[in-house]
Amino acid sequence: MIDTVKNAEATPDQEQPYKELGLKDDEYARIREILGRRPTDAELAMYSVMWSEHCSYKSSKVHLKYFGETTTDEMRSKMLAGIGENAGVVDVGDGWAVTFKVESHNHPSYVEPYQGAATGVGGIVRDILAMGARPLAVMDPLRFGAPDAADTKRVLPGIVAGVGGYGNCLGLPNIGGEVVFDESYQGNPLVNALCVGAMRVEDLHLAHASGTGNKVILYGARTGLDGIGGVSVLASETFDDGAGKRKKLPSVQVGDPFTEKVLIECSLELFEKGLVIGIQDLGGAGLSCATSELASAGDGGMHVYLDRVPLRATGMTPAEILSSESQERMCAVVEPGNVEAFLEVCRKWDVIATEIGEVTDGDRLVITYHDEVVVDVPPRTVAHEGPVYHRPIERPADQDELQANTPDSLERPDDLLELIKIMAASPNLASKKWVTQQYDRYVRGNTVLAQPSDGGMIRIDEETHRGVALSTDCNGRYTKLDPYEGAKLALAEAYRNVAATGATPVAVTNCLNFGSPEDPGVMWQFEQAVKGLADGCAELGIPVTGGNVSFYNQTGTTAILPTPVVGVLGVIDDVRRRIPTGIGAEAGETLLLLGETKAEFGGSEWAHHVHGHLGGLPPKADLGREKLLGQILVAGSRDGMVSAAHDLSEGGLAQALVETCLIGETGARVFLEGDLFTALFSESAGRVLVAVPRTEEQRFTDMCTARALPWRKVGVVDPESNALEIQGLGELSLDELREAWEGTLPALFD
């Protein structure tokens, strides 16, 4: 029997499995108070999923406010939509708006690597589509446990195949991302997915349901039993009549990229014809989320006829229909006069579309199932007025000890040439070609830069050559040692990577992956990281336009390294002026190192890989310097003074040299001063290796000197040599370097 509002009123004392659905006693009591009665099963399903940490941000909300407080009007000037929308939107000039966002799909990807990763891509792409934009490209920052662990061999190939399988079939180029290994991710890999899209400024669509009488249309895939997490508790306890016992489906959803591709093209045609007033994708929490968010953001109420939802399983209960996370579905608000035209476009694309409700007067979200009311709630209480927690915060007791355990006493090897090879072959620094060659980077023909470049770059206008560049970064070891500084360093690196392509950084998104918010030490890391990131953005003068929080990333009581992945978006007027990562594009280039090198080894890749050491303090971030560096690189690109640029990060100058030579398939002769170990392996921030044509050397270095950016000539490109020679140490042939750099991942995963 279906639990209706009438029934709920008649049976106030009926016990409900709210605890199994993840609601606390006081949260359940609050729902009863809001409704003035006990919730129906369907209402309980909606509240429990919408008030979950994932949907309600209940532990992070009080901290995330800091982003808003630190964003000035000046920083906001280019922002067309920000935090709270499906994705942030930035005005990039020439009438173009660009939207981008990163989201996590960590836990499903551990349970079922292929589908978890695939649906992570699918979800973020629909978020971008729901802004009215054509999705242009994806990137995937991934983190795994120890590279040689047995479970990594299960998880990594599955996740990579899932990202590729979905993205390739969807027809979106994959232009970058990260692959990082650390034991802390062993039982909890991180799968973050970024999507970027573009639209004309006037075509921006926001998720809201306005105008009484307007119709609500659900279109895309049918709704099934896949991806029903906690709600299956309701199903099994309340509705299992024994006769029609159904097979339980896995709570990880199953993706269908073909349906998503068709959904994208169909949606873009609907937008183009002006048939859509408001739109929302169906992701986490399915229809519960879409209907309550649309209604709550609009100016009226909404009536939804749940029995009209096309199903792919029999006997689904209202609670299951509302909570199903079946993929590839969208919900649109359409004027009554446009419904037929809307359905006509859907028919062309063979997309199922069903009018499931309408916008009403008043302020209630009413959901009926075969004429009986199963949900009658104020939508804001579901979507926006969930619980807010001020979780206890405490700096971990062992933080001082961690910071006191510096890498100063670690033994440094005599053979630095050998160390260059050892580091190039270390799993974190090794070439990620084994992963990225499973991703299509060419489709749609606008990819200007992709992995292994510092940042990905996409052309958005073939006439004007305007484009955008993107990079995502985070070093969890730095954040572990100092979450505030570590978050700034993640921002600094992503900013620098974008600038190194010749683009001007304009906006920031993030995906904050942390352990349990119920651990005061984790909440301290989170609070510090948010502050570091927000303060850093204020220093750089670019806004955070959106983001995502993923808590409970831990194995038992051991949390992952705090991992605030930062994505930076940059704009370039003319993609033909992009700066490549590899040297050798011009005959006769000089190598210059921009920035300053100090002996900074805390959290370094060398300490990690060679000594298994994590302690001390991370490098110091200097965002003023990063900004200056960015301006110099952009000027260098604009005036044709820079022929290659590569950011220095993990592995220091040594790794940057190896990569720039191998990517450019060209040798170099390098001369360094001072302590060679520090010069080669320090991870000081704010540094970029650039190649400048000899004819531009004077002009470029004069500009650096005039603007007080430290620079030093460190070598020359040598197209004849096929080797990396370091004066005082000797030379390494490009062949042996390539074998070291490219051999590691195939040896581990083939």
**How many angstroms separate the CA atoms of 428 and 81, rounded?**
36
User: Are 502 and 38 within 8 A, CB to CB?
Assistant: no
Q: Smallest gap, in angstroms, from Cβ of residue 579 to another protein?
A: 13
Determine how many CB atoms are found less than 10 A away from the CB of residue 211.
18
**How many angstroms separate the CA atoms of 714 and 39, rounded?**
70
Q: Is 14 a binder of another protein (CB under 8 A)? A: no
54 is catalytic: yes
Q: Smallest gap, in angstroms, from Cβ of residue 748 to another protein?
A: 14
User: Are 491 and 119 within 8 A, CB to CB?
Assistant: no
Tell me phi and psi for residue 456, to 5 degrees.
-85, 150
**How many angstroms separate the CA atoms of 662 and 681, rounded?**
18
Q: Smallest gap, in angstroms, from Cβ of residue 600 to another protein?
A: 37
- Which CB sits closer to another protein, 255 or 318? 255
- Which CB sits closer to another protein, 264 or 592? 264
- Joined together, the tokens standing for residue 31 give 């729902």
Q: Which residue has the tokens 């994806």?
A: 138
Catalytic residue among 54, 205, 613, 646: 54
Where do runs of H (alpha helix) occur along 36-149? 41-50, 53-56, 61-70, 73-76, 106-111, 113-129
Residues of this chain, 453-472, that bind another protein according to CB under 8 A: 459, 462
Q: Of 160-168, 211-219, 373-381, 731-739, which segment contacts another protein by CB under 8 A?
A: 160-168
Q: Smallest gap, in angstroms, from Cβ of residue 156 to another protein?
A: 12
Q: Smallest gap, in angstroms, from Cβ of residue 169 to another protein?
A: 5
Residues of this chain, 328-367, that bind another protein according to CB under 8 A: 349-350
- Which CB sits closer to another protein, 356 or 448? 448
Q: Is 258 a binder of another protein (CB under 8 A)? A: yes
Alpha-carbon 131 to chain mean position: 17
Binding another protein (rule: CB under 8 A), the pick from 141, 165, 378, 505 is: 165
Looking at residue 641, its amino acid is M
Q: Is 750 a binder of another protein (CB under 8 A)? A: yes
Residue 41 makes CB contacts below 8 A (sequence gap 6+) with 3, 16, 234, 238, 317, 318, 319, 374
Q: Is 665 a binder of another protein (CB under 8 A)? A: no
Residues of this chain, 563-582, that bind another protein according to CB under 8 A: 575-576
- Which CB sits closer to another protein, 43 or 440? 440
CA neighbor of 595 nearest in space, from 638, 649, 642, 644: 649
Q: Smallest gap, in angstroms, from Cβ of residue 443 to another protein?
A: 5
- Which CB sits closer to another protein, 169 or 410? 169
CA neighbor of 584 nearest in space, from 659, 654, 493, 499: 659
Q: Is 497 a binder of another protein (CB under 8 A)? A: no
- Which CB sits closer to another protein, 372 or 586? 586
- Which CB sits closer to another protein, 235 or 262? 262
- Which CB sits closer to another protein, 462 or 639? 462
Q: Is 729 a binder of another protein (CB under 8 A)? A: no
Q: Which long-range contacts (CB under 8 A, 24 or more apart) does 4-13 make?
A: 4/40, 4/372, 4/373, 4/374, 5/37, 5/40, 5/373, 5/374, 5/375, 5/376, 6/372, 6/373, 7/40, 8/37, 8/38, 8/39, 8/40, 8/43, 9/37, 11/38, 12/37, 12/38
Alpha-carbon 296 to chain mean position: 26
Q: Of 123-131, 157-165, 204-212, 547-555, which segment contacts another protein by CB under 8 A?
A: 157-165
Q: Is 268 a binder of another protein (CB under 8 A)? A: no
Interface size with another protein, residues (CB under 8 A): 33
Q: Of 253-261, 325-333, 357-365, 537-545, which segment contacts another protein by CB under 8 A?
A: 253-261
Residues of this chain, 414-443, that bind another protein according to CB under 8 A: 436-443
Q: H/E element holding 632? A: helix 623-638
- Which CB sits closer to another protein, 258 or 388? 258
User: Are 106 and 92 within 8 A, CB to CB?
Assistant: no
Q: Smallest gap, in angstroms, from Cβ of residue 444 to another protein?
A: 6
Catalytic residue among 63, 105, 205, 608: 105
Binding another protein (rule: CB under 8 A), the pick from 246, 384, 444, 611 is: 444
Site string (200-239) toward another protein, x via CB under 8 A? ----------------------------------------
Residues of this chain, 527-566, that bind another protein according to CB under 8 A: none
Q: Smallest gap, in angstroms, from Cβ of residue 744 to another protein?
A: 17
Q: Which residue has the tokens 């303060």?
A: 535
Q: Smallest gap, in angstroms, from Cβ of residue 312 to another protein?
A: 16
Q: List C-alpha distances in Å: 36 to 30, 366, 378, 648.
A: 10, 16, 12, 60
390 is catalytic: no
- Helix count and strand count (H, E) for the chain: 27, 28
Tell me phi and psi for residue 416, to 5 degrees.
-75, -30
Binding another protein (rule: CB under 8 A), the pick from 43, 182, 256, 647 is: 256
Q: Is 448 a binder of another protein (CB under 8 A)? A: yes
Q: Is 257 a binder of another protein (CB under 8 A)? A: yes
- Which CB sits closer to another protein, 33 or 750? 750
Site string (167-196) toward another protein, x via CB under 8 A? -xxxx-------------------------
Residue 544, CA atoms < 13 Å, CB-side half-sphere: 31
Burial (CB < 10 A; 0-12, 13-18, 19+), residue 315, is: middle
Binding another protein (rule: CB under 8 A), the pick from 120, 164, 407, 686 is: 164
Q: Smallest gap, in angstroms, from Cβ of residue 727 to another protein?
A: 34
Helix (H, G, I), strand (E, B) or coil at 238: helix
Q: Please provide the DSSP assignment of 312-353 as one string.
A: SSSS--HHHHHH---SSEEEEEE-GGGHHHHHHHHHHTT--E
Q: Facing residues of 139 across strands? A: 194
Q: Of 12-20, 80-88, 252-260, 723-731, which segment contacts another protein by CB under 8 A?
A: 252-260
**How many angstroms separate the CA atoms of 489 and 739, rounded?**
31
Residue 617 makes CB contacts below 8 A (sequence gap 6+) with 403, 406, 481, 482, 485, 602
Q: Smallest gap, in angstroms, from Cβ of residue 438 to another protein?
A: 5
- Which CB sits closer to another protein, 442 or 713? 442
- Joined together, the tokens standing for residue 225 give 């039993």
Q: Smallest gap, in angstroms, from Cβ of residue 639 to another protein?
A: 19
Catalytic residue list: 54, 105
Residues of the shown chain interacting with another protein in the complex, contacts defined by CB under 8 A: 161, 164-165, 168-171, 256-259, 261-262, 349-350, 436-448, 459, 462, 575-576, 750
